[in-house]
Structure 1
Amino acid sequence: MPSSAIFLKKIKVAMAGGVVLMAVVGTASYMAISRLLETAQSRVRTEDTLVMLERVDSSLRTAESTLRQYLLSGREDDLAAFQEARVELRAVRARTRSANVLQEAADFDELINQRAQTANQAIAARQAGGAEAAAAVLASQASRDLRLRTNALLEGARNRESYKWRDAQAAAERSAQWALSLIVAASALFFGMLGWVVYVVKHYEQVRKSGEAQLRDSEAMSRSITEGMVEAVITTTSEDIVLEANAAALQLFGYERSELVGRDVSELVPERLRGQYKEFTAMMHARPGAFRISGREVLALRKDGTEFPVSVSFSDVQVGGRRVFTALMHDITESKRITKALRASESQLRQVTDTVPALIAYLDTDQRFRFHNRAYEDNFGLSYEQIDGKPLADVLGPQVYETVREKVDEVLSGHTVRYERTQVTPQGERRHYAMQYFPRYGEGSAADKVIGFFSLGTDITELKRIDRMKTEFVSTVSHELRTPLTSIRGSLGLISGGVAGQLPDAVKSLVTIAQNNCERLIRLINDILDSEKIESGKLRLDLQVVDLRQLVQQTLVANEGFASQHGVSLVMRAPEAALHVRVDSDRMTQVLTNLLSNAVKFSPKGGVVEVRLSRTAQKVRTEVVDAGPGIPEEFSARIFQKFSQADSSDTRQKGGTGLGLNISRALVEKMDGTIGFSSKAGMGTTFFFEMPEWTNPVPLLKPLRPPSVSSRPRILICEGDPDVARLISMMLGKAGFDSDMTYSAEEALASLASNSYDAVTVDLKLPGQNGVSFIGQLREDESTRNLPVVVISAMAEQGELQFNRKPHTVSDWLKKPIDEHLLVHSLRRAVASLDSGKPRILHVEDDLDIQRITAAIAQEFASFEFAATLDEARALLREHTFDLVLLDLALGSHSGWDLFEDIDALDPRPPVIVFSAGDVEPSDGRYADAVLVKAHTSNTELLNTIQRVLQIPGDPGPTRPQALS
């Protein structure tokens, strides 16, 4: 082969090899350049992302700072500043979303929205409840969690961008090194590749310039963003020399750009702190990797020497192959002032509640204490840490908590709760508290949701003690006043009745004056005691169905004497049909007497007081109409208040205590009625009250026939006051009774052991053994078990409570001062009940009204003993022999059927009539002689059934067949 051909072949091979090498080197170089370009672009994107993240963080802090300013001041311009910061934040968020800066954009938006809701709640709390309420919202755990989660998300985004940038940079450096090795190797083999290498270098230069241009554009954009930030941004070298500062930084520190750039950054802190700052920045510079330190508080120094606090976030970034450091800061002077003021306000609130002598606390829906005052710690003997955040059950203890669990559930369901609680202090003292629970509702969308409750406990131990003292005082006054008044009233009545002979006119006039004023004093005492009983809730009513027409007529007759003294006539206008109401007859008479007394006193001489009865809308209306001067308009609003009088001067012409109308209103309302008045000056006054009409069937009771006593009954008087005993004896003597007087329970027992008596009167307040104990002893003795007892005492109502549900124990209860007519009537009834020829009936019934009605129906031919429980019935069956048992099956939680075993064991076994409210199956009545259902049984049917079972012929008379209800 010719050498030229070989050379040519070599040339071709060389050219081919060169081409191959050129291709390889070119490919590697191109890849390296591409990676370098991508690195530059990645760096630009990273820097843009970091700047935008700083912008977001800055906007958040600005919004929070302006919010705190408003919450402290409450000024509208501060609120407007906050709204502007919120608008700026939304704009920044929009730019971050469009640039796809955050991978967690949805989570970040959710956190921002939640913080916006918290801000709205704080604003609403500030507007509604003041700075303290707003501080509570911002200081809540949920608010702190939102801030921490937001910072953590931003911090994670910054770290992620820094890591991405480093990874890309490292990959680019490896590619460049590999390309360079290939180029060097290729250059050593083919110098001819120089031209191609030059070409490649020129191409790379063009690419580099393009990258630099992009970098300059990026830096310009970054500067534009930085300059627009309200936070101060300062960039420094690793030697702490200021490289750049935005406009906010220049304004914050008071420097021009030329003055600040190139200055040591440590000069921006006070000289005494520069050493510490240098140590801190040296520590940052020593960190090998990217970092970010957020929220560090630093004391800064302005150009004019003013010191002020700033919150600084530090980070680092690689720019142009060197490491630079960025400090983003904002002035927190106002924020610290707000925080300090809020803390002072909270401290002041706690100091105020700590001085209040009451238990004050707030608990959340988990029943945990979120606030309490010092009284809680003192009362429970616990420290602050042992109460704060602890469950209510742990603080109260399991036993006390069980008593209030239902109250807590009730307040958490949205109801205000009030109750009393007894608690033992660490010193062993028992204290009484009036507790109140108030629900607390949320705000905004949770406005209808209970988020906790406030607890207020007032110590009422002293009030309880005073109330007991008042009760004891009233009881003492009741006895000590009523007892001598009994003697005075009775003696005056006997003298006036002629027991001492005919009186001269002058003496008779004086006796009349004394009697009138005695009655006036009795009414005053009764009004005061009634008022106390009404206030304490101890007033007892004996509600019965009555015809109001008859009650009003009786009251008018009783008040005719008083009306005639004032020259006034009493008139009643009522429909012919009966007007049935369910009332306490005595108390209703008291109300009518009060209204009539006022009408008479204020009527002109020769006037007429008219009582009108009418039926309206299932109510019975009673009107007392007078033609007096009317009621002054300024007095109308307080006419029913205690001690209220239109003329309260010392020279007023009309007497009275001012209690009558107050008591009347209370009595009417307790009987489910309403009371009011209408009046025109100079045209008279109309007082009226309305009671629900009783529309159920009304049992017709045969009237009691006066007992016919063939010989003078003998009565034993047991009375601690000798004067009252002699007075009772004189009253009984006039009425046809013989009597013996004793002054203690011991003397009475001695008389009972040696003499026979038809009845005994007992005063409850006796020297030595009291009256209640004495009556109990009489009932335990076989010889006196059935002896009728009539209580005559100033404390009759208290004694009656002790014998509640045992109507067979005492025949009647009479209050002092003694009403002679009631005394004689009660003893005549008691003596009449001793007729030994009557069959004895045991009525087992827990309804006292049914007991009384049944006794009234059959009292003419039978005597009754009553039992309200199975235990009482069994005791009476063991101690007495009965001719009939009248049995109710529903006795509370027990059944009357259980008594049949005891009845069947008796010899002889008495017959049984089942008289119950429920229907009885025929098979269930196999042990009874008769079965009656209350709602279906008339008085006549009951009477006939009793007589048939007892085999007593009788004429029930023309009683109408009405059901016993």
Structure 2
Amino acid sequence: GEEAMASFLSAPPDIAILDIIMPKMSGIEVCQQIKDNHLLRHIPVVLATALEEQDAKLAGIEAGADEFLNKPFDLNELKARLRSLLRGKDLFDELQKRYEELNQVYREVDQKNKELESLNGLKNQFLGMAAHDLRNPLNVISNFSQFLSSDLAGQVDEEHLGFIDNIQKSSESMLNLVNDLLDISQIEAGKLNLNLARVDLQDVIVHNMTLNRLMADQKKISLTFQCKSDTTFSVVDAPKIDQVLNNLISNAIKFSQSATCIEVVLVQRDEMLVLSVKDQGQGIPEHEIPQLFQAFQKTSVKSTAGEKSTGLGLMIARKIVEGHGGKIWVESKSGHGSTFTFTLPLRQEDMEAQLDVAPVVSQKKVSLKVLVAEDNVVNRQIVTRILEKAGHEVVAVEDGEQALQATESQAFDLVLMDSEMPKMDGVTCTRNIRRREQDTGVHLPIVALTAHAGDGDREHFLSVGMDDYLTKPVQPEALFLVIQNLGGTESVADGA
């Protein structure tokens, strides 16, 4: 038995015929060692014995024997059994070969996947950087063209106002595309940051309808809103939900014929708030619906006035809604309009906790006195102009030291604080203001302005004493929603 085992290790045979009874090491022991060795276990083992005892065969089976032969051998039986075992071994060898080939392919595919993941990460990083760098100048073009259009109305002819309007619309179209690309890069990188706060969804809906009403009026489309819920508050990221609603409402307008109706409905079902946008448009072919919420997917239905779409909006909307713990879907039929619906969970305990800590503006009024601390002159001009057009009084400074001095000499209802400024940054300035408030007992709402929204940014700003934060470039809608959430006037959005 020992000699047989040594021979097998040095030169593995195609098949092993072992006598059960052998000196030093029995056939059963040799069989056991063969089957325990991963290099030899594929070898078929035949145990030969003159014993009739059942115990010997049971021991052989437990050791892994493939066949048994009783001595003396019948030659024909021996040949038949060996042929059968060798066919099995050939099949095993072929399977083993295929397995090794497939395993090699798997390793190559796995390596390619890792390379693709790395490239995808670099792509997302590039998209994010490019989108961020493009967004700032586009936002400047959009805002200043809007300012020009407003200031020059009645002073220049309609043709030149049309030129300005075309600049504004083109820059807004590019800005929307850039924002979509930035959102996609963050989503694919797993960095969809939600800044949750207690929000009245009814305000978000009405505000969004106000923004889209001009486009609807141009097509003589009626926009209506029905609130069928006793509860309209939820803990959400208001700008993100505003983004979802804007996508659904603007899409409904794009794909609706003139003189039709779009209805927005808010209802409560169990522990969910359900928002739906129903249009009387062209509908969506049934076979296109399953892919509708994937990236770069567009319906074959054409917009009624030639409006363009990136094919990213619904995918972004799905990710935002799912990030809130909700669901989004569409019910549609060609020629019979569409109803897009999404749900948001009602988190009563979160709402109650938010109520306990929600900062309050000193006095609710139509006009607020706002301190804008921003070192970038263009950003400072834009934020100042947005606030002044909404009827607010603005004091603008360019660094943290000036901001601290201003809050010492004047009373403000709100501070918009750039996080990075010369002389004194926004975080240090905020800490100084909060230390001073320990003596005065008066809380001054402070909102951070930051160029980047990374993981933990909100928690960081809140931990140093800020009440909320906005990403730059500042959008009027997001700014007014933050003011509302901080207890400011509910009518400020009307001035946007």
| TM-score, normalised relative to structure 2 | 0.68
Letter of the 1:520 counterpart: S
Q: Distance in 1 between matches of 2:315 and 2:80?
A: 71
Q: Which residue of 1 aligns with 2:212?
A: 559
Match of 1:573 in 2: 226
Partners of 2:197 and 2:402 lie apart in 1 by 40
The runs of 5 or more residues in structure 1 that have no matched partner are: 1-53, 55-88, 94-100, 116-141, 159-224, 233-328, 359-455, 743-747, 830-851, 860-965
- Give, in whole Å, the separation in 2 of the partners of 1:810 and 1:728: 19
Q: Which residue, 521, 530, 554 being the options, matches 2:174? A: 521
Question: 1:714·1:757 contact (CA, 8 Å) conserved in 2?
Answer: no
- Aligned match of 2:53: 105
Q: Which residue of 2 aligns with 1:724?
A: 379
Q: Is the 8 A contact 2:138 2:171 kept in 1?
A: yes
Query: Structure 1 counterpart of 2:374, which letter?
Result: I
1:792 aligns with 2:445: no
Indicate which of 326, 329, 350 corresponds to 2:100.
Answer: 350
Rounded to whole Å, the distance in 2 between the matches of 1:563 and 1:522 is 21
Contact 1:549–1:578 (CA under 8 A) maintained in structure 2: no
Q: Is the 8 A contact 1:732 1:738 kept in 2?
A: no
For residues 857-904 of structure 1, what are the alpha-carbon distances to aligned partners after superposition, in whole Å with 9 as ceiling and x for unaligned? xx9xxxxxxxxxxxxxxxxxxxxxxxxxxxxxxxxxxxxxxxxxxxxx
Displacement of 1:677: 1.7
Residue 736 of structure 1 corresponds to which residue in structure 2?
393
Measure the CA separation in 2 of the matches of 1:574 and 1:587: 20
- Correspondence for 1:901: none
Secondary structure, aligned partner of 2:264: strand
Q: CA deviation at 1:518?
A: 2.6
| Distance change in 2, residues 1:696/1:605 (3 Å) | same
**Could you list the runs of 5+ residues in structure 2 that have no partner in the other structure?**
1-18, 20-46, 438-443, 489-496
Instruction: Determine which of 615, 619, 624 is the counterpart of 2:277.
Output: 624
Residue of structure 2 equivalent to 1:486: 139
- Residue of structure 1 in register with 2:425 after alignment: 774
Q: Deviations over 1:200-232 (max 9, x none)?
A: xxxxxxxxxxxxxxxxxxxxxxxxx99x76358
Amino acid at match of 1:775: G
Partner of 2:195: 542
Deviation, structure 1 residue 561: 1.8
Q: Which residue of 2 aligns with 1:230?
A: 76
- Write the mapping of 1:365-444 to structure 2, written as runs, cut at 5 A: none
- Work out which of the two has the higher radius of gyration on C-alpha atoms and give 1 or 2: 1
**Partner SS, residue 596 of structure 1:** helix
Counterpart code for 1:718: D
Closer, same or farther: CA 457–351 of 1 in aligned 2, 3 Å: closer
Distance 1:347 1:599 in 2: 58
Tell me the CA shift for residue 462 of structure 1: 4.1
Which letter maps to 1:106? Q
Give 1:813's aligned residue.
Answer: 469
| Equivalent pairs, count | 432
Question: 1:455-466 maps to which residues of 2 (within 5 A)?
Answer: 462=115, 465-466=118-119
Note if contact 1:803-1:809 (Cα within 8 Å) is conserved in structure 2: no
Distance 1:484 1:345, change over 3 A: same
Does residue 683 (structure 1) correspond to residue 336 (structure 2)? The answer is: yes
Match in the other structure for 2:186: 533
Native 8 Å contact 2:229 2:267 kept in 1: no
Secondary structure of residue in 1 paired with 2:425? helix
Residue identity over aligned pairs, in percent, reads 25
1:497 maps onto 2:150 in alignment: yes
Match for residue 936 of structure 1? none
* TM-score relative to the length of structure 1: 0.38
Identify if the C-alpha distance between structure 1 residues 506 and 756 changes in structure 2 by more than 3 Å, giving closer, same or farther: farther
2:434/2:465 contact within 8 Å kept: no
In 1, Cα distance between equivalents of 2:418 and 2:224: 41
SS class of match (1:512):
helix
Which amino acid is the alignment partner of residue 216 of structure 2? A
Amino acid paired to 2:54:
A
Equivalent AA in structure 1 for residue 148 of structure 2: I
Aligned-pair distance for 1:785?
Answer: 7.7
Amino acid at match of 2:145: L
| Aligned position for 2:64 | 143
Q: Within 2, Cα distance between the matches of 1:470 and 1:598?
A: 28
| Cα distance, 1:487–1:463 mapped onto 2, change above 3 Å | same
In the other structure, the counterpart of 2:311 is: 658
Distance 1:775 1:800, change over 3 A: farther
Deviation per residue, 1:357-390 (Å, 9 max, x gap)? 36xxxxxxxxxxxxxxxxxxxxxxxxxxxxxxxx
Cα distance in 2 for partners of 1:642, 1:756 equals 51
Q: Give distance in 2, aligned partners of 1:580 and 1:784.
A: 33
Partner residue of 2:323 out of 670, 673, 677:
670
The alpha carbon displacement at 1:107 in A equals 0.6
Aligned pair in 2 of structure 1 residues 783, 789: CA closer, same or farther (>3 Å)? closer
Query: Aligned equivalents of 1:782 and 1:696: distance in 2?
Result: 31
| Greater length-normalized contact order (CA 8 Å, ≥ 6 residues apart) | 2
Instruction: State the match for 2:126 in structure 1.
Output: 473
CA shift in 2, pair 1:750/1:598, >3 Å: closer
Tell me the secondary structure at the aligned position of residue 574 of structure 1.
Answer: strand
Matched with 2:239 is 586
**Does structure 2 conserve the Cα–Cα contact (< 8 Å) formed by 1:729 and 1:741?**
no
Residue deviations 1:46-97, cap 9 Å, x none?
A: xxxxxxxx9xxxxxxxxxxxxxxxxxxxxxxxxxxxxxxxxxx9xxx9xxxx
- Alpha-carbon displacement from aligned partner over 1:552-586 (angstroms, at most 9, x marks no partner): 33332332222112220011233363355443333
Question: Partners of 1:697 and 1:586 in 2: how far apart?
Answer: 18
CA shift, 1:649, in A, is 9.1
- Shift in CA distance, 678/651, structure 1 to aligned 2, threshold 3 Å: closer
